[in-house]
Chain A
């Protein structure tokens, strides 16, 4: 099973650099953000991650220790969740690391992850419960079409879409003005007559 190589140790000069101190502090914060508790436990795990770095590896060249440490723990985490969910059939689109982290989150109140996170020798009952929670039972998509049926809006739409746009407003306006004048003319003639 994947996990941190706990046996590897590092030289004092490597660990004493200020950059590595910064990486160590960041790593502790990152582990705390994973719900791990207990300063000493977190410190121990952070140390193990840093200790596991093979500083002779060319891929770390020119890389800041913080990035190296975070890359290491993310790789280790991916591998750990991958191994944990080896036989787990996820739902479509599921990713073992994502589902695993959610399972870890679900079990926050019942499992003390500070003792188990990234540990290759996970107790069997914890492993089983973790694997069970990795499956996010969502309703599977059962795609179906739903499309509108044609609607005949009747005379109003006919008026709005066909008649009015083609309407020549100028003759209508002239007619309205003409009859309005006639109306007032007749009205005043009648009043004058009275």
Chain B
């Protein structure tokens, strides 16, 4: 077979791009026009209320958003059944086939795998890196890849735990020199600053970087394909894979998994249809060409009036800058082994949305910026509408409610405000309802149809059907709740307010009923209040509003129930919300749902760096300014020193601990001083720390490859040692009696 069949990917013309955009926008535009016409017709020719005048443009905007989603799903369906798909990773096959035709396969260029971490659960991060490491080893191209754990952690315990986790990994896999750890302090500009810091310091040594999130996984085979695709087409700046959500245990996470698994491919293919080489970047599970990224993609400062001048959501802007520089950005819809984990419960999803919302709203500055590609402007606009759509939807509902109330006769409060009752044509209203339902459900129906062939991967036809209905039901309940929170986020961001969340981030434990009540109680109360008001004031529309109110009223139990594993375990048993990765776990994911601890600290982790000689050595070795005397003296050292000695290490706050940990001289001085102190002078809390076994093996022995062997050997050794020492002692006594020197040293 000739590689010519992939050559359409090598030359994307301007005509192809504009034709596809015209098809996409035309499809969405026609449907929007039809919906708007029906809306106008259903309002009749006369007697429009002020609220209806206001509602109409909002309706058109929101209907266009709905039509856009529908058009993407239609184009996705066309793309999936196309004989000439635009799957960018297919260009890698050109290289593969060239290699197969003759000669040795080309060695891959140096590629850095970047894992930015920020106070993460390192057990999970390291377990993921281990799986990818093993997977890469199997490809035979592992030597081309280096791993960088780029820490931005600002908690002392997390920082030290990361160092030991890195050390344990390198010891276990003999990976010193190929897996690197770097901690950055202060962590300026968040994740984008973290990646930029890598680029400035080591970027020149690598042609590509694959950017991960702390919970991202890409198989070795897929990473090699990504590099080969970049090699085959040097005009590509970024290839973004479509990560599948996996390893969910709570019902919420598994619901998201099923939704993205069944519909994600369809939407990605549809999006790819009109974007092609003008795609977007999501900040992780993507390969980036380092040189143009360094040359063109450092984030500019926002205009002074933007309040906070740093761009929070960097990925979309980086894609726009890469396009502006003339490089292509693709979405690889056919990347099969790219994964990430979803939020475990609604509250975590909302926390993430809050960050994304703020980032997306900032993008408004780029909407009219000069030289930004049209497709990138569309991305920015869709991103904005993703969050602005919620307050608009809420306003539309309120206006609709008011319109309904004003048309009810006999209302003593509203009778004076309403117009004459005008008979409205009924047929267009039903047609509009029908069209709306089609736009809402057709993408779901299409996604169901395209997976009929492989329903086995979703637990079989019956279970996939049940999951599909459950997915539609839960989506219907969650949507109004998300709408309210997104509206709140938009308002808070506009007012410059910060959010105080009432829950901690506890992935595995779910939400308590109290936390659910505190977070979602107001939503449920609003639902009950709105339902009662509608029952009295707009009784005709009560059942029309009911799906909305039901979502609000159910917010507390919904958030609580879906955050736990109990109900999810049953669903998993019945294979409800089953995904292909659950039915047949890919090799690269096996074991990740039950990660074992990488380290086991006998003290608070940061105390290891203070007390343990090896902990100190490991920490200092990984500091940038690690040569004693190479740094500025810490001005607060004396105060921190006195506080530590007086009240113990637990009395120091995290910023104070970080100050000590970043100062080699200060930390070394403290370490030596603590060990040299008399028993009576030691802080009470440190006495047991020094007295306990600080043997370094205990920190990482729990999962060390040689630990089991060492334990077995230790038993045997202790017996031999006891016998040998007894003999040696007896010999020494004999020698002492004779006035000889102690027995040999080795």
Contacts and interface: CB of A to CB of B under 8 A. Distances in A.
B540 interface: no
Given A70-B676, A74-B672, A136-B621, A148 B368 contact: no
A146 B209 CA distance: 15
B420 to A, nearest CB: 10
A148 B679 contact: no
Contacts of B364: 156
A179 B112 CA distance: 63
B741 A7 contact: yes
A37 interface: yes
B612 interface: yes
Interface string A116-153: 10011101000000000100111101111111111111
Contacts of B693: 32
Contacts of A59: none
A136 B176 contact: yes
B628 interface: yes
B410 interface: no
A141 B202 contact: yes
Given A139-B205, A141-B202, A156-B367, A148 B301 contact: yes
Interface string B599-614: 0000000000001111
Contacts of B102: none
A35 B695 contact: yes
Interface string B154-180: 000000000000010001000011001
A41 B717 CA distance: 14
24 contacts: A6-B745, A22-B679, A29-B690, A44-B742, A66-B676, A66-B678, A70-B675, A93-B630, A101-B617, A102-B617, A102-B618, A102-B621, A105-B618, A133-B176, A139-B146, A142-B204, A144-B203, A146-B203, A146-B294, A148-B300, A149-B300, A151-B300, A152-B370, A156-B364
A99 B746 contact: no
Nearest to B690: A29
Interface in A78-107: 93-95, 97-99, 101-102, 104-106
A165 interface: yes
Contact of B368 (A101, A155, A161): A155
A161 B298 contact: no
Interface in B691-746: 691, 693-697, 704, 706-707, 709-710, 721, 725, 729, 741-742, 745-746
Given A93-B627, A109-B704, A148 B298 contact: yes
A108 B707 CA distance: 11
A88 to B, nearest CB: 14
Contact of A139 (B180, B679, B704): B180
Interface in B8-22: none
A146 B199 contact: yes
B620 interface: yes
Nearest to A139: B202
Nearest to B728: A40
Contact of A105 (B167, B624, B709, B741): B167
Contacts of B200: 143-146
Interface string B227-246: 00000000000000000000
B626 A95 contact: yes
A81 B166 CA distance: 24
B745 A121 contact: yes
B731 to A, nearest CB: 13
B48 interface: no
A161 B365 CA distance: 12
Contact of A33 (B612, B704, B725, B746): B612
Contacts of A119: 745-746
A32 B695 contact: yes
Contact of B678 (A22, A102, A165): A22
Contacts of A146: 196, 199-200, 203, 294, 298
Given A48-B742, A102-B617, 15 more contacts: A33-B694, A41-B725, A70-B675, A93-B624, A98-B620, A101-B617, A105-B614, A105-B618, A109-B171, A109-B706, A109-B710, A120-B745, A139-B202, A153-B370, A154-B370
B621 A26 contact: no
Q: Give the residue among A29, A33, A145, A156 with the most B Cβ atoms within 10 A.
A: A33
A160 interface: yes
A26 B679 CA distance: 9
Nearest to B627: A93
Contact of A161 (B180, B196, B304): B304
Nearest to B742: A6
Interface residues of B, number: 72
Contact of A38 (B672, B707, B721): B721
Contacts of A149: 296, 298, 300, 321
A136 to B, nearest CB: 6
B299 interface: yes
A2 interface: no
Contact of A154 (B306, B368, B677): B368
B496 interface: no
Contacts of A147: 298
B303 interface: yes
Counting chain B CB atoms within 10 Å of each CB, the highest count among A106, A151, A152, A161 belongs to A151
Contacts of A15: none
Interface in A43-99: 44, 48, 64, 66-67, 70-71, 74, 93-95, 97-99
Interface string B644-679: 000000000000000000000000000010011111
B369 A152 contact: yes
B627 A148 contact: no
A35 B449 CA distance: 62
A119 B612 CA distance: 21
A127 to B, nearest CB: 12
B305 A165 contact: yes
B381 interface: no
Contacts of B613: 30, 33-34, 101
Contacts of B356: none
B48 to A, nearest CB: 14
Given A30-B613, A148-B298, A116 B746 contact: yes
Interface string A146-180: 11111111111100110011000000000000000
B485 interface: no
Nearest to B677: A66
A158 B738 CA distance: 97
B143 to A, nearest CB: 14
Contacts of B296: 149
Interface in B265-308: 294, 296, 298-301, 303-306
Given A70-B675, A105-B696, A154-B369, A99 B621 contact: yes
A191 B321 CA distance: 56
Nearest to B148: A139
B621 A106 contact: no
